[in-house]
Structure 1
Amino acid sequence: MVIATLGEVVAIYRSRAALDPARVAKRAGISIAQYLALEQGTAWPGTEVVEAVIKALQIPDSQRARLAAAGPLDQHLQSMLHRYDIPSLIVDSSWRIVEANSFARALLPDSARAGWNLMRWILFDSEARRRLANWDDVARSFSALLRDSVTAAPRNTELRAIWDTAAHLELAAAPSPTYCSESQVLVWRTDSGPYPISACLMTVPSERPDLRQVTFVPRNTHLAPVLMARGADPAPWYRPLLSDLLTCGLCGLLLTGGGQPASYNCATGCLPALRAEELEIRVAKEALARAFPAQACRELGVAQEILTAEGIDLELNVPVSAKHALDQWRRSMTDTQRRGLLTATLRSATVYPTLLPSGYPGVDLAYSWRELA
């Protein structure tokens, strides 16, 4: 007889032992719903549950090796995971790796090892301390997650072992009503260039409450600190700020800038001459509002602390709001910094003629923005 799935093996050994599902669940120390999910193949109840059932039914090692179990992830969940173009992995209730996409493998090469544990890596691995510039903050956040996991599964031996080690190293978190894992920022050290910043997003896959999907969502907030760092500016910018960014909405030509007083003009005369100072401030307000929402400003604050701790001085403090950024634009930024922030957020702006409420001619702007992670 060829046995195809783990559920079939479990059902046969239960029948041989003349046990009903409730009795097996009681012997294994699990709920009957968890047992039925395993036997009927409706959900993966977790590695610990499988091991407990195998032990309760005394399934021999020789039989376990012959199993052709499909694994904990169905094809839909695997397909979703591998379609992401950012690092994403799935862990079980003990934080052991279940599956990871190629981007996660590149970010965390050790995750390819069987039994690799994300919680252990964050809290105890020296490589995590080296890679994460804000390791102390990340470790506090993950130790709070560990505390929650132990509370939810107090009989999980692997979680208890991790908790005991964390407590010995004084990493175990005390209860905190202000703890929020969804806002955790990770700053990854690199050998050169700006440090990539990501936010750690944790979700529970549909119909799989025993698993966690951990996704590292890139944040583009490193652009502002790098532009504001001493000696880190790109090549100095001496041309009009909106050069190559403005297009006439009537003829499609790029607007040219220059002259005294400085203005932007359409070569065919479709538009009136546009005062450069007024137009640049108008575009800057829109670009800075997009570049510096409240969450981005909070992450920039973290980035500034990390860069300062690494010995990188900033010519300007990162802004605490879009309004603060506009004030820096007017008072403190160089044209090189202004141009860098514009091109980081704006692809182009199309200018159309219009009549102002006063009856005088004016212009409307239609923006094409870059996607910000």
Structure 2
Amino acid sequence: MSDWEAAVKGAAGRADDGESISRLLRAWRARVDARTVPELRYVHPRPGRRLSQQHVARMTGVSEGWYRALEAGRRHDFSEGFLLRVAAALRLSEDETLTLFLAVTGRRPPRPAETCGDLPQGVRALLEQQVTYPAYLSDGAWNIVAANTLMGEWFPWVLRPRPNLMRWALLHPEAREQMLDWEDSCARVYLAMLRVAANSNPTDAALRVLVSEILEADADCRRIWAEEFDVVEHRDGHVFRLRLPYHDHAEVRVTSHVLLPIQRMDLRFVFITPVDGPADAAG
């Protein structure tokens, strides 16, 4: 029986261990052949087949006791950087790294900065093949990452350089003309969303800049921000009234549907559909 099989069998025999991260970490560590780890090549004495807790601690730049506390499940204040180093040392897959982060921190691991060109093909195809209603993808700071053809026809501002939903809706004069009942139906909702985002991601520089820019640029937004304490996470299901050139300035009632693509959960996938039936979607 191999060391890997023995570790799995031994861990499975502890009924009180369940599917804990401790059990998984031990199994993942036993799976790695220490002789294949470049960082341990010049360690004396030369390591054998078994990758020890001491080895992992050395590879991740912490004390053996610090790593042992992680594997024992005794602490939950480990940094993202340390957990990413553990994932690399144990050669964890994307799903295994996700499991480690969720078990230890309750959060998903950080994603590297990605661009529009990095959109998964399935997500891009779903967006481009949506020809009935406007749809777009935005990031955590409401920058428009991609939009379908109909979104560009309804809202030509998404075709401008570096389009941002919040900047257009809260600062651009045409938004106050096209979004009816602008203050109550638009500004208050969007500012409440910004308040949630700013408190959820206090270290996000893009969000800080966005909030500061909006409050500095517009007196109405400053007043609403100071007066209101509402918080809104998203506008899924929110109904609002539009008067767009695309519809010859006739009033249209629409609702937004906010989805999270499983392959890019850092993005919002938003559809805009008419409340009163498909007839309103026609130009």
Q: Normalising by the residue count of structure 1, what TM-score does the alignment of the two structures yield?
A: 0.41
Separation in structure 2 between the aligned mates of residue 116 and residue 144 of structure 1, nearest angstrom: 20
Separation in structure 1 between the aligned mates of residue 134 and residue 203 of structure 2, nearest angstrom: 31
Separation in structure 1 between the aligned mates of residue 201 and residue 80 of structure 2, nearest angstrom: 11
Aligned residues: 180
Contact 1:86 1:217 in 2 (8 A): yes
Aligned to 1:199: 255
Contact 2:136 2:147 in 1 (8 A): yes
Matches within 5 A, 1:175-254: 175-176=229-230, 181-190=235-244, 192=248, 194-220=250-276
Separation in structure 1 between the aligned mates of residue 182 and residue 170 of structure 2, nearest angstrom: 9
Distance 1:34 1:203, change over 3 A: farther
Aligned to 2:117: 71
- Residue 72 of structure 1: how far off its partner (Å): 2.9
Aligned to 1:96: 143
- Residue 181 of structure 1: how far off its partner (Å): 2.5
Cα deviation, 1:52-108, whole Å, max 9, x if unaligned, reads: xxxxxxxxxxxxxxxxx8823110001111122210000111111111110111112
> Could you tell me the percent identity over the aligned residues?
24
Contact 1:86 1:215 in 2 (8 A): yes
Contact 2:260 2:268 in 1 (8 A): yes
Contact 1:196 1:218 in 2 (8 A): yes
In terms of fraction of residues, the more helix-rich structure is 2
- Residue 178 of structure 1: how far off its partner (Å): 8.1
Cα deviation, 1:276-306, whole Å, max 9, x if unaligned, reads: xxxxxxxxxxxxxxxxxxxxxxxxxxxxxxx
Aligned to 1:162: 210
- Residue 33 of structure 1: how far off its partner (Å): 7.2
Separation in structure 2 between the aligned mates of residue 21 and residue 113 of structure 1, nearest angstrom: 47
Q: Return the letter of the residue paired with 2:196.
A: D
Q: Return the letter of the residue paired with 2:205.
A: T
Unmatched tracts of structure 2, length 5 or more = 1-38, 40-57, 62-78, 99-108
Cα deviation, 1:306-329, whole Å, max 9, x if unaligned, reads: xxxxxxxxxxxxxxxxxxxxxxxx
Cα deviation, 1:188-233, whole Å, max 9, x if unaligned, reads: 114656311111222211132211112211121799xxxxxxxxxx
Distance 1:134 1:222, change over 3 A: farther
Separation in structure 1 between the aligned mates of residue 151 and residue 193 of structure 2, nearest angstrom: 20
Distance 1:180 1:93, change over 3 A: closer
The counterpart of 2:200, out of the listed 145, 148, 152, is 152
- Name the SS of the counterpart of 2:236 in structure 1: helix
Matches within 5 A, 1:104-119: 104-119=151-166
Contact 2:193 2:231 in 1 (8 A): no
Separation in structure 1 between the aligned mates of residue 182 and residue 278 of structure 2, nearest angstrom: 17
Cα deviation, 1:105-125, whole Å, max 9, x if unaligned, reads: 111212123421111111111
- Name the SS of the counterpart of 1:181 in structure 2: coil
Contact 2:258 2:268 in 1 (8 A): yes
Q: Return the letter of the residue paired with 1:161.
A: V
- Residue 135 of structure 1: how far off its partner (Å): 1.5
Contact 2:244 2:250 in 1 (8 A): yes
- Name the SS of the counterpart of 1:90 in structure 2: strand
Matches within 5 A, 1:45-64: 49-50=112-113
Aligned to 2:24: none
Contact 2:116 2:145 in 1 (8 A): no
- Name the SS of the counterpart of 1:188 in structure 2: strand
- Name the SS of the counterpart of 1:147 in structure 2: helix
Aligned to 2:129: 83
Distance 1:204 1:178, change over 3 A: closer
Q: Return the letter of the residue paired with 1:76.
A: G
Cα deviation, 1:241-267, whole Å, max 9, x if unaligned, reads: xxxxxxxxxxxxxxxxxxxxxxxxxxx
Higher Rg: 1
Matches within 5 A, 1:112-127: 112-127=159-174
- Name the SS of the counterpart of 1:76 in structure 2: helix
Distance 1:201 1:147, change over 3 A: same
Unmatched tracts of structure 1, length 5 or more = 1-14, 24-28, 52-68, 224-343, 345-373
In terms of fraction of residues, the more strand-rich structure is 1
Contact 2:192 2:231 in 1 (8 A): no
Q: Normalising by the residue count of structure 2, what TM-score does the alignment of the two structures yield?
A: 0.52
- Residue 50 of structure 1: how far off its partner (Å): 2.8
Cα deviation, 1:26-50, whole Å, max 9, x if unaligned, reads: xxx965778989xx9999966xx53
Q: CA RMSD in A?
A: 3.9
1:172 correspondence with 2:220 = no
